[in-house]
Structure formats: structure tokens, C-alpha cells
């Protein structure tokens, strides 16, 4: 278990804690030691903590718009879809399997609360569930909607059971060009 502490000199320090064995008498000079039987074992300098936080922040930022789309392709994605909406993910489920050739298959669904419906007539226009399947060897990373975003523009196909494309489906709203956003809905 780890934590952060403000040092006596005002610097931020990362801490690693270990549990005391039950038979070991722990110091009881602090209320925290009475409630949480932990002791401090070492610290990490502030530079290491900041470096770690910077790496995490850069990795998260690089995931912001992972699906590149040329400006002319947005219209084609829209026209090929049965349902197009802006929505916020609210729940989901996923599973792993192997096919007869030993390839890994990841599949699942994600439920969206729909903010704006641009195309289609789903049975429940406020909540739409879309499924996603990835097979080992597909030319993209696994994972449904890998970008970390609060809302997405979703292009899905199907009748009452909607699916998204294997590799070109994760479009955070902030990554959609304003020129395309302002043209929605469009006629095909």
C-alpha cells in the first residue's frame, strides 16, 4: 500500500507502508497507528513522484483522440451508420474467449445515455446499447471505447441490436471537428 505525505521541509514524499504482524507490538503514540496498523518503511524523492505523474498524464493525453479520421470521412461514417448519437457511457460488460484457431476474442457492450440523437429511430432513444467485438490480429488495439471521455459521437449499425466497427468507433466529442458537429444532422 502507498500514500503521499508532506515532509517537514514542505516537500511531497511518496510513502510505502507495510502491515505490522499481529504479534508485533506497534507504536501507539499516534491515533492513526492505533486505528491503522501500518508503519512507514521508506520514502521516494519528489522528483520521482512528479516523473511518475507526468508519465501518467502524458499517457492519458495521448489517448484523447486515438482514432484518426480525415475530414471527408466523417460524412461517410454518418451515412453508413443506422444510428448516430452523442452519448455518455453509463455501464457495460465485457468478456474474453478464444476461437478455434487459438486467437483471443474480446467482446462486450456499452450502454449510453443519449444526449442528442442525430440519425435513426431506436426503441429507447434515451438509452442505447452498442456491442463491440475485437479479434486478435485486427489492425487496432483491443478495447471498446479506449479513449477517456465523458461523451462520444457514436456511429452504430443494426436494427434493434447495434454494433460498432472493430477499429473505427471511438470518437470522443472533443475530437470531432467543429465543422462536422455544426453540420449535424446531415442528409446522405
- 3-class SS of residue 90: strand
In tens digits, what is the pLDDT along the chain, a chain of 188 residues?
444 455 555 554 544 444 444 444 444 444 444 444 444 444 445 444 444 443 333 333 334 576 678 878 899 999 999 999 999 999 989 899 999 999 999 999 999 999 999 999 998 889 999 998 989 988 887 777 766 778 999 999 998 789 888 887 878 998 899 999 999 999 98
Distance CA 109, CA 65 (A): 21
Distance CA 184, CA 188 (A): 11
Q: Specify the residue for cell string 520514502.
A: 43
Strand order in the sheet with 152-156: 152-156, 83-98, 104-119, 127-135, 162-163
pLDDT of amino acid 180: 92
Distance CA 39, CA 77 (A): 56
CATH 2.40.50.120 placement within the chain? 73-183
Give kind and range of the element (H or E) at residue 40: strand 38-44
pLDDT of amino acid 9: 56
Compute φ and ψ for 152, nearest 5 degrees: -130, 155
pLDDT of amino acid 102: 92
Distance CA 110, CA 91 (A): 6
Which CATH number does 73-183 carry? 2.40.50.120
Amino acid at each position: 500500500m502507498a500514500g503521499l505525505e508532506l515532509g517537514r521541509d514542505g516537500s511531497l514524499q511518496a510513502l510505502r507502508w507495510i502491515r505490522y504482524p499481529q504479534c508485533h507490538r506497534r507504536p501507539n503514540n499516534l491515533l492513526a497507528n492505533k486505528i491503522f496498523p501500518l508503519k512507514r518503511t521508506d520514502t521516494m524523492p519528489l522528483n520521482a513522484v512528479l516523473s511518475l505523474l507526468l508519465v501518467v498524464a502524458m499517457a492519458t493525453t495521448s489517448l484523447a483522440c486515438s482514432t484518426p479520421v480525415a475530414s471527408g470521412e466523417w460524412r461517410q461514417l454518418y451515412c453508413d451508420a443506422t444510428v448516430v448519437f452523442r452519448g455518455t457511457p453509463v455501464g457495460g460488460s465485457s468478456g474474453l474467449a478464444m476461437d478455434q484457431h487459438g486467437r483471443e476474442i474480446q467482446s462486450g457492450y456499452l450502454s449510453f445515455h443519449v444526449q442528442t440523437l442525430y440519425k435513426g429511430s431506436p426503441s429507447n432513444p434515451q438509452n442505447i446499447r452498442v456491442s463491440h467485438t475485437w479479434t486478435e490480429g485486427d489492425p487496432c488495439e483491443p478495447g471498446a471505447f479506449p479513449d477517456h471521455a465523458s461523451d462520444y459521437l457514436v456511429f452504430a449499425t443494426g436494427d434493434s441490436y447495434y454494433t460498432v466497427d472493430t477499429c473505427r468507433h471511438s470518437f470522443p466529442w472533443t475530437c470531432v471537428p467543429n465543422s462536422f458537429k455544426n453540420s449535424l444532422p446531415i442528409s446522405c
